[in-house]
């Protein structure tokens, strides 16, 4: 373990310690703020419920991220190849991005039911925008000297895209994924709040309506851990594929 | 096959700024021509016009019987700039190989990538990535890439100006011996007069803003040239004097 990891873990332990002592000393009731020890025991007891729910949410988030990422990337490619469409595509993207998810999610649930569909769509709506913006920037980030070299041998734009634009955009894509991946988890959970038959969002909603704070906090902790793991995964993938940046 | 370059009445404006004005120049096939001028004399712009990377505002440029765009489309330009412009995600070998795979020229004899790297002194570094190399080594790789497609016209825009003096001299010597082997037509842009006199057959001197041909100094010294010789120093002095006058003249100082 590196010193940095140890320091990070130590900080978490200190924060949890202060929280525990504060709750115990002030006598705060568990239905308002549960102590970390209460949450830990719930995490242990409810593991059989939490793990499948977390997997459902993770699946929806990954599917939504894949869909949103693909749409964002496709729009960026269109804008790059056909510059005259940029204003139209970006206006449309901004319109979709500005629509409040909290209003869209219930409508999707009414239309599509309690299944995974609405969650995947909500997640895609949340994640396509950072991918689109970063991809467009990335495709344009080719070093002008590199562009000159490609132009000097009259390379067709498709090959220029493959050999210059796409690799140049990869660091930007990973920057987008680092924002979009945790966002995808939130998107899936928010959509589940609006009506779901499974998932962490549903567990949270059930706990909330029963004023079961330890379970609610337990589900939030599970979501946080999952988001952190997904983020780490993206960082690891970035290190492997963008070795030059 | 090397071709001559004909530049007739070429001007180039960037909005209200005139970069080049009435350039008339003929570059003989297989010759090494240096274009020298102060910053802002439009020498890089002239090179971009010859390479078809930009179009002139007025005037005509032809390479052999063709336009720069046609020459570019025929993959006959070996372009090298001040920045090595290597692709950082590709190894040294793959950077050079890409030039060949993007430009398959069945009728042209091209050298193997390993031979090219050996030629520029980078034979051992094929597997390295550009980030692991010094600036001079990166320019050596860029030179190998320029040679890779067997282009008969080399357009070089201050390719060694970002390097330290010793590296620069070594690279210039290597470039010269490689050029003597291929005898391509070379247009070499620089602001360094001794380098131009050392390498070129002709040194074209441009006035500053807008760039006009102030004079052309023919260098008829045998290669390799001794920079300490009187004849060499004399040519450098002449070129310098012409540029000084051009810089001070009302025409040259205008704009």
Which domains are seen in chain B, by residue range?
A: 5-76+153-253 (3.40.50.300), 86-151 (no CATH)
**pLDDT tens, position by position, A52-69:** 999 999 999 999 999 999
DSSP strand pairing (B213-218 vs B202-206): antiparallel
Question: If 0-12 CB within 10 Å is exposed, 13-18 middle and 19+ buried, where does residue A218 land?
Answer: buried
- Confidence at B249, pLDDT banded by 50, 70, 90: low
CB contact, 8 Å: A148 with chain B? Answer: yes
CB contact, 8 Å: B129 with chain A? Answer: yes
Phi and psi at residue A140, to the nearest 5° = -95, 0
Q: What percentage of chain A exceeds 90 in pLDDT?
A: 74
Kindly state the DSSP code that residue B162 receives in the 8-state scheme: T
Q: What is the Rg, in whole angstroms, of the alpha carbon atoms belonging to chain B? A: 18
CB B74 within 8 A of CB B94: no
CB contact, 8 Å: B66 with chain A? Answer: no
Identify which has the larger pLDDT, B154 or B109.
Answer: B154
Average pLDDT over residues B58-74: 94
- Looking at chain B, the number of H-run helices and the number of E-run strands are 9, 9
Chain A, nearest residue to B100 by Cα: A153
Nearest to B148 by CA among B120, B177, B187, B167: B120
CB contact, 8 Å: B105 with chain A? Answer: no
- Confidence at B250, pLDDT banded by 50, 70, 90: low
Taking the domains of chain A in order of start, what are their residue ranges?
A: 1-33, 36-241
Cβ within 8 Å, pair B102-A164: no
Q: What percentage of chain B exceeds 90 in pLDDT?
A: 69
Cβ within 8 Å, pair B131-A145: no
Angle at B137 between CA B133 and CA B142, to 5 degrees: 110
Q: Give the pLDDT confidence score for residue A226 in this predicted structure.
A: 92
Angstrom distance (rounded) from CA A85 to CA A97: 18
Cβ within 8 Å, pair B131-A244: yes
ipTM above 0.95, yes or no: no
Count, residues in chain B: 255
Helix extents (H) in A27-153: 36-45, 47-81, 86-98, 101-112, 117-139, 144-152
Average pLDDT over residues B158-180: 88
Chunked mean pLDDT (size 10), chain A, 245 residues: 86 94 91 91 89 94 96 95 92 88 84 88 93 96 95 94 96 96 93 87 92 92 92 93 85
Peptide bond into A33 cis (omega under 30): no
Angstrom distance (rounded) from CA A18 to CA A5: 20
Residue B89: its chain A contacts at CB < 8 A?
Answer: 167, 170, 243-244
Q: Give the pLDDT confidence score for residue B253 in this predicted structure.
A: 44
CB contact, 8 Å: B98 with chain A? Answer: yes
Token match 């999952």: residue? A226
Residue B67: its chain A contacts at CB < 8 A?
Answer: none
Phi and psi at residue A92, to the nearest 5° = -60, -45
Q: Give the pLDDT confidence score for residue B182 in this predicted structure.
A: 87
- The shortest C-alpha distance from A40 to chain B (Å) reads 46
Cβ within 8 Å, pair B87-A154: no
* Domain covering A36-241, topology: MetI-like fold (1.10.3720)
Residue A146: its chain B contacts at CB < 8 A?
Answer: 85, 87
Residue B131: its chain A contacts at CB < 8 A?
Answer: 244
Considering CB atoms only, which of A146, A159, A245 is closest to B85? A146
Considering CB atoms only, which of A153, A159, A244 is closest to B89? A244
CB B119 within 8 A of CB B104: no
Angstrom distance (rounded) from CA B202 to CA B27: 9
Nearest to A165 by CA among A81, A72, A75, A53: A81
Phi and psi at residue B247, to the nearest 5° = -70, -35
Kindly state the DSSP code that residue A163 receives in the 8-state scheme: I
Q: What is the Rg, in whole angstroms, of the alpha carbon atoms belonging to chain A? A: 22
Q: B104-142 as b/e, with b when 16 or more CB fall inside 10 Å? A: eeeeeebbebeebbebbbbeebbeebbeebeebbbbbbb
Angstrom distance (rounded) from CA A126 to CA A120: 10
Cβ within 8 Å, pair B85-A148: yes
CB contact, 8 Å: B18 with chain A? Answer: no
Considering CB atoms only, which of A145, A148, A159 is closest to B102? A159
Cβ within 8 Å, pair B88-A153: no
User: To probe the interface with B, which of A145, A156, A243, A245 has the most B CB atoms within 10 Å?
Assistant: A145
Strand partners, B7: B25, B61
Residue A153: its chain B contacts at CB < 8 A?
Answer: 72, 75, 77, 79, 99, 102-103, 149
Average pLDDT over residues B232-247: 90
Strand order in the sheet with B213-218: B77-80, B153-157, B185-190, B32-36, B202-206, B213-218
Lookup: tokens for B109: 């004899």
Q: Give the pLDDT confidence score for residue A175 in this predicted structure.
A: 95
Nearest to A170 by CA among A94, A230, A241: A241
Mean pLDDT of chain B: 90
Angle at B239 between CA B160 and CA B167, to 5 degrees: 20
Element (H, E) at B189: strand B185-190
């Amino acid at each position: 373990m590196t010193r940095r990891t140890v320091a990070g873990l130590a900080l978490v332990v200190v924060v949890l310690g202060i929280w525990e002592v504060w709750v115990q000393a002030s006598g705060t009731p568990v239905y308002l703020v549960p102590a970390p020890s209460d949450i830990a025991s719930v995490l242990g007891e409810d593991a059989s419920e939490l793990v499948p729910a977390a997997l459902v949410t993770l699946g929806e988030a990954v599917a939504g991220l894949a869909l949103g990422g693909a749409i964002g990337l496709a729009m960026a490619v269109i804008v790059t190849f056909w510059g005259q469409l940029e204003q139209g595509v970006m206006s449309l993207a901004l319109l979709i991005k500005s629509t409040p998810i909290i209003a869209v999610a219930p409508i999707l649930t009414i239309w599509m039911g309690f299944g995974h569909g609405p969650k995947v769509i909500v997640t895609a709506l949340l994640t396509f925008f950072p991918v689109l913006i970063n991809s467009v920037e990335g495709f344009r980030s080719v070093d002008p000297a590199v562009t000159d070299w490609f132009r000097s041998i009259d390379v067709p734009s498709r090959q220029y895209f493959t050999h210059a634009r796409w690799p140049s955009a990869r660091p930007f894509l990973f920057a987008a994924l680092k924002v979009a991946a945790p966002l995808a988890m939130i998107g899936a959970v928010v959509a589940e709040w609006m009506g779901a038959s499974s998932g962490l969002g549903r567990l949270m909603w059930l706990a909330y309506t029963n004023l079961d704070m330890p379970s609610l906090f337990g589900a939030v902790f599970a979501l946080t851990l999952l988001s952190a793991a997904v983020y780490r995964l993206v960082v690891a993938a970035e290190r492997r594929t963008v070795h030059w940046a | 096959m090397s071709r001559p370059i004909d530049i007739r009445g070429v001007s180039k404006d960037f909005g209200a700024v005139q970069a080049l004005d009435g350039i008339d120049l003929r570059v003989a096939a297989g010759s090494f021509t240096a274009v020298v001028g102060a910053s802002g004399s439009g020498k890089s712009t002239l090179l971009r016009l010859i390479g078809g990377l930009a179009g002139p505002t007025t005037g005509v440029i032809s390479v052999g019987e063709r336009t720069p765009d046609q020459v570019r489309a025929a993959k006959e330009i070996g372009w090298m700039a001040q920045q090595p412009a290597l692709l950082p995600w590709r190894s040294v070998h793959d950077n050079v190989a890409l030039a060949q795979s993007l430009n398959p020229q069945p009728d042209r004899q091209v050298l193997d990538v390993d031979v090219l790297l050996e030629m520029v002194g980078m034979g051992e570094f094929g597997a390295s990535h550009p980030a692991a190399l010094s600036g001079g080594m990166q320019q050596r790789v860029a030179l190998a890439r320029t040679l890779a497609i067997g282009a008969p016209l080399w357009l070089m825009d201050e390719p060694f100006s970002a390097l330290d003096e010793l590296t620069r001299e070594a690279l210039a010597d290597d470039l010269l011996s490689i050029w003597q082997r291929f005898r391509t037509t070379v247009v070499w842009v620089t602001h360094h007069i001794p380098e131009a006199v050392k390498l070129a057959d002709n040194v074209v001197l441009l006035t500053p803003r807008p760039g006009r041909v102030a004079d052309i100094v023919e260098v008829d010294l045998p290669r390799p040239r001794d920079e300490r010789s009187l004849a060499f120093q004399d040519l450098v002095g002449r070129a310098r004097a012409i540029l000084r006058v051009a810089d001070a003249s009302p025409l040259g100082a205008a704009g």
